[in-house]
Structure 1
Amino acid sequence: MKHTRIAAFAALGLAAALSLTACNGDDSGADASSQGAATSNSSSSSSSSSSGGGSEAGQGPSGSGQDSKGGADATNGGGTSGGTKVTSCKTKDLAIDAQDAAPDEKTGRIDITMVNRGSTTCSATGFPGVDIKDADGTSSSTGRGQAQPRVTTLKPGDAAVFNLAYDIDDSGESMASPTHLLVTPPNETHTVTLKWPAGAGAIKGIAADVQVYPTHTTK
């Protein structure tokens, strides 16, 4: 009887030990599974954040071609009229002249007007090319003013104007002695030669210090 009780207690102890071991094994497996899921979620979140950062890094303003001084310019497009594409104005169809329009004794300004003498509507949108010819026979390009081109569409008889702006040298020692303006309309390669306007003030600095601004309509 005594041996039977001892054996029974031993059996119960063994069963309890086995049950405890099984419980510990299940908890360990659950913990490992939970840790694995957490690691997977963390990696997925990190990957998503990195992808979003790369996309944002790729955004930003693109550069604009403002260095070209010529009349033909990729940034100067044609226009539209009534939904129809309008081609650029041709130099041969434009009547062009220059006049002194200085607002005061310190600021020089020359207005250059282009009238569409052709039979069709055309676009004069953009920066013209302007070189200044000096008394010694050399010519130099002007710079560009900080302004955005405006859509400038000309029907037959319509006029567009653009300006040259500079500081006037009143010292009598100007390094420039301009005699002519060489003007190339936007998106054109043919140039017209105009006389430097009578009465226009002396240029302070050199031709590159004179700034040309984009065309706009006179209406």
Structure 2
Amino acid sequence: MRVRKLTFAALAVAAGLSLTACNGDDGTAQDDGPSASAPASPDGGADAGAPEQGGGKESAGNTAGGQDTDGGSGGQSAGSGAEAGAGACRTDELDVTASDSTIDGDSEGSVAVTFTNGGGRDCALTGYAGVDLRTAAGDVSAERTGQEAGAMTLEDGKSVSFTVSYPVNDSGGSGVRVTALVVTPPGETKSVTLEWPGAATLPVTDGAGSPVRVGPIGSAGQGGAS
């Protein structure tokens, strides 16, 4: 399905209409439909989304509700550039996890998404992953932060993380409830759906544009990889 970027005004209307209908939603990840996001390609383009077939290579502890206890904070870099001959990392080779990384006092909430290479080979990652938040009012696609997005080689068994930031709902209202996080690795069309580990709701405002932003691969943690 084609990504629909919601304006805040649209979220406000939709949130009001959907509050009653969503009372029975248990907030678990949805993995039986196509990704809401088209993955970002290195040249700024996007590939069409594709249905998730069981998601990426997920461990038993990292399915819906699982959290990466490291939070992508490993200290060793996976490499400053992609090695010659290293093929692109495929969704099925990556264990994808997400954990709350918000620091007390921050004006925004943040979630660290971690890719762990379990494919038995070194592989290349470049740029930005595709990120969507599924909400009670519809899907919200994360916008790129604009930070430099270089190429890197992710060695077999190593991990690298990036940050998803979002506004905190401190309005006192119910806001728009987030039900899942959909992640598509760079250059891929197959997505992984995870339980959203961040704050339960996004604020409803009258502004335009996406309230959610995604940083490039390596933008979370010390050195970006472990």
Q: Distance in 2 between matches of 1:185 and 1:168?
A: 26
Q: Distance in 2 between matches of 1:205 and 1:166?
A: 12
Residue matched to 2:212: 210
**Over the residues paired in the alignment, what is the CA RMSD in angstroms?**
2.2
Residue matched to 2:41: 73
| CA shift for structure 1 position 91 | 0.4
SS of residue in 2 equivalent to 1:208: coil
Amino acid of the structure 2 residue aligned with 1:203: L
| CA shift for structure 1 position 201 | 5.9
Q: Distance in 2 between matches of 1:115 and 1:202?
A: 28
- Seq. identity, %: 33
Residue matched to 2:94: 94
Gaps of 5+ in 2: 1-36, 45-80, 219-223
Q: Which has the larger radius of gyration?
A: 1
CA contact (8 A) 1:131 1:139 kept: yes
Residue matched to 1:50: none
TM, length-normalised to structure 1:
0.60
Q: How many residues are paired up?
A: 145
| Correspondence 1:103-114 to 2 at 5 A | 103-105=103-105, 106-114=107-115
Residue matched to 2:125: 124
Residues 201, 139 of structure 1: alpha-carbon distance in 2 compared, 3 angstrom cutoff? closer
SS of residue in 1 equivalent to 2:131: strand
Residue by residue over 1:66-113, the C-alpha shift from the partner in whole angstroms, topping out at 9 and shown as x without a partner, is xxx63141427xx632xx222110000100011011012532000000
CA contact (8 A) 2:132 2:182 kept: yes
CA contact (8 A) 2:140 2:212 kept: no
SS of residue in 1 equivalent to 2:82: strand
CA contact (8 A) 2:93 2:117 kept: yes
CA contact (8 A) 2:143 2:210 kept: yes
| CA shift for structure 1 position 169 | 1.5
SS of residue in 2 equivalent to 1:92: helix
Q: Distance in 2 between matches of 1:196 and 1:74?
A: 26
CA contact (8 A) 2:178 2:200 kept: no
Residue by residue over 1:17-38, the C-alpha shift from the partner in whole angstroms, topping out at 9 and shown as x without a partner, is xxxxxxxxxxxxxxxxxxxxxx
Residue by residue over 1:173-194, the C-alpha shift from the partner in whole angstroms, topping out at 9 and shown as x without a partner, is 2542101011000010000000
| CA shift for structure 1 position 208 | 1.6
Q: Distance in 2 between matches of 1:214 and 1:174?
A: 31
Amino acid of the structure 1 residue aligned with 2:171: S
| Correspondence 1:179-218 to 2 at 5 A | 179-197=179-197, 200=199, 202-205=201-204, 208-216=210-218, 217-218=224-225
CA contact (8 A) 2:98 2:113 kept: yes
Amino acid of the structure 1 residue aligned with 2:225: T
Gaps of 5+ in 1: 1-68
Q: Distance in 1 between matches of 2:89 and 2:163?
A: 18
Write out the 4+ residue segments of structure 1 that deviate beyond 3 Å after TM superposition: 204-207
CA contact (8 A) 1:152 1:160 kept: no
TM, length-normalised to structure 2:
0.58
Q: Distance in 1 between matches of 2:131 and 2:96?
A: 13
CA contact (8 A) 2:130 2:184 kept: yes
Q: Distance in 1 between matches of 2:112 and 2:130?
A: 14
Amino acid of the structure 2 residue aligned with 1:218: A
